[in-house]
Amino acid sequence: RLLLENAQQLVLVCGRGERYLRREGAAGIAVLRGASLVVGLDGCIKAVGQADVIRNQFSEATFERIIDCSGKCVLPGLVDAHTHPVWAGDRVHEFAMKLAGASYMEIHQAGGGIHFTVEHTRKATEEELFSTFKHRLERMLRAGSTLVECKSGYGLNLETELKMLRVIERARQSMDIGISSTYCGAHSVPKGKTATEATDDIINNHLPKLKELKLSGEIHVNNIDVFCEKGVFDLESTRRILQAGKDIGLQINFHGDELHPMKSAELGAELGARAISHLEEVSDEGITAMARAKCAAVLLPTTAYMLRLKQPQARKMLEEGVIVALGSDFNPNAYCFSMPMVMHLACVNMKMSMNEALAAATINAAYALGKSDTHGSLEVGKQGDLLVINSSRWEHLIYQFGGHETLINYVIVKGKVIYQNERCETMSSY
């Protein structure tokens, strides 16, 4: 058992079993002062409350570990709702092209972008992919992410997509970090195929195989994703793939309205999508439809920042009652592991408040993955995933841009300390 004792601030995020927070809920994020928290042997939170009350309640109990959190803050582990972390070959050379003014689609059409990564990922062995993926997940953990959505999508053929999904499954079983696995075979149209042929291949070959592997327990896949975009998969192809994925029990969680208005948000709301990512070009009707359908918007501040696109309309979404979540979009195009940096960018560039950004990177990101009943807040019965930061106010996690490396003191998953940052011990709280 684990006891976190006497935290200066303990940020619950929500405390009444909410599955998500809309704007008004995020405004009232609950913070306890002088508080303690207990995680049981089963990895779930047993008690949260004032330090003296917890001390009396557990006066007879023995703890494997007690962490003195005086002068520190305890927060829920962060949830990264959108990443592409399994691939080989980096695209550092394309960064220079982008800085010189080349657009995403220009690079894509010149054989760069997704196609460059596909070529390298197809050649890589499962072992090579697992090794780099593991290191990336470890970096995400050190930056405070305890649950990460991980996509395939750099195979575009059945063999490589399955190779990527096996790598994700292996990490899910062997590492402490929480993983939500996404099949993203419709990430791009493979060379030599039309979008319709690619769609037929996915529906007739990829998904039946996936269903078989899911049923045999070899691979656990949670979500289905499609890049719904002009010149990639149109609305009708997207509808067919997403519906076929839903029919085999996958949650719909896809890329929409990023570079062109495609009516992706309206489609997602109609199909009962759990979440839609990007939405830089979403229509007003799409926003209204998502709010009504309780379909989460996964906003990716790194993408708009790196590609110099217009920012998603976070404020309008929040005001209309959309459930707003955040993701790092970690991939060869947006090489960012850090949800604290993502929250900072969301506040500065998308005009979110710090409370809204924290809700978006915890309970709402968990909701976007269908896991907010077990993750995303510090409530009794939920999984004991949390961070201890070396600061007397939780806002430092967002305020310090790129400061997480000396700010995050402990990362804890299921009540087990999986990262302890020695540097915090020698530095006073700031």
Q: 71 and 86, same structural domain?
A: no
Mean pLDDT of 195-213: 98
Pairing of strands 324-326, 275-278: unpaired
Tell me the pTM: 0.97
What are 305-335's pLDDT values in tens digits? Answer: 998 889 999 999 999 999 999 999 999 999 9
CA neighbours within 13 Å on the CB side: how many for 117?
Answer: 26
Q: 174 and 40, same structural domain?
A: no
Domain-ending residue, one of 369, 395, 411: 369
| Residue that the structure tokens 């409350």 belong to | 49
**Residue 110: pLDDT above 90?**
no
d(CA 430, CA 112): 44
Would you say residue 226 lies in a domain?
A: yes
Q: 26 and 10, same structural domain?
A: yes
Would you say residue 427 lies in a domain?
A: no
Q: 293 and 154, same structural domain?
A: yes
Please state, for a pLDDT cut of 90, what percent of the chain lies above it: 94
Lowest mean pLDDT segment, chosen from 93-97, 117-121, 156-160, 387-391: 93-97
Would you say residue 429 lies in a domain?
A: no
Which is it for the CA torsion 232, 190, 116, 87, positive or negative?
A: positive
| The total number of structural domains that make up the chain | 2
Q: How many CB atoms lie within 10 A of CB 68?
A: 12
- Tell me what pLDDT residue 63 has: 97
Would you say residue 286 lies in a domain?
A: yes
Would you say residue 43 lies in a domain?
A: yes
Q: 87 and 71, same structural domain?
A: no
In this structure, what token pair is assigned to residue 353? 């408040």
Q: 122 and 21, same structural domain?
A: no
Q: 415 and 306, same structural domain?
A: no
What are 277-309's pLDDT values in tens digits? Answer: 999 999 999 999 999 999 999 999 999 999 888
Q: What is the CATH number of the domain that holds 266?
A: 3.20.20.140
Chain center to CA of 243 = 23
Would you say residue 425 lies in a domain?
A: no
Q: 84 and 70, same structural domain?
A: no
Q: 137 and 63, same structural domain?
A: no
Q: What residue type is 87 in one-letter code?
A: W
d(CA 249, CA 165): 16
> What does residue 276 show for φ and ψ, rounded to 5 degrees?
-130, 135
pLDDT class of 425 with cuts at 50, 70, 90: confident
**Residue 191: pLDDT above 70?**
yes
d(CA 340, CA 357): 9
Q: What residue type is 240 in one-letter code?
A: R
Q: What is the CATH number of the domain that holds 402?
A: 2.30.40.10
Mean pLDDT of 111-122: 93
**Residue 32: pLDDT above 60?**
yes
Would you say residue 426 lies in a domain?
A: no
Distances (CA, A) of 216 to 62, 169, 175, 301: 41, 13, 22, 38
d(CA 411, CA 417): 6
pLDDT class of 429 with cuts at 50, 70, 90: low
DSSP letter assigned to residue 205: I
Q: 389 and 365, same structural domain?
A: no
| Residue 322, C-beta contacts closer than 8 angstroms, at least 6 positions apart | 22, 287, 290, 291, 295, 296, 297
Q: 156 and 228, same structural domain?
A: yes
DSSP letter assigned to residue 26: H
| Residue 128, C-beta contacts closer than 8 angstroms, at least 6 positions apart | 88
| Structural domain boundaries enclosing 110 | 79-369
**Mean pLDDT score of the chain:** 96
Q: 236 and 258, same structural domain?
A: yes
| Residue 164, C-beta contacts closer than 8 angstroms, at least 6 positions apart | 86, 121, 129, 152, 153, 154, 155
Would you say residue 359 lies in a domain?
A: yes
d(CA 108, CA 113): 5
**Residue 356: pLDDT above 70?**
yes
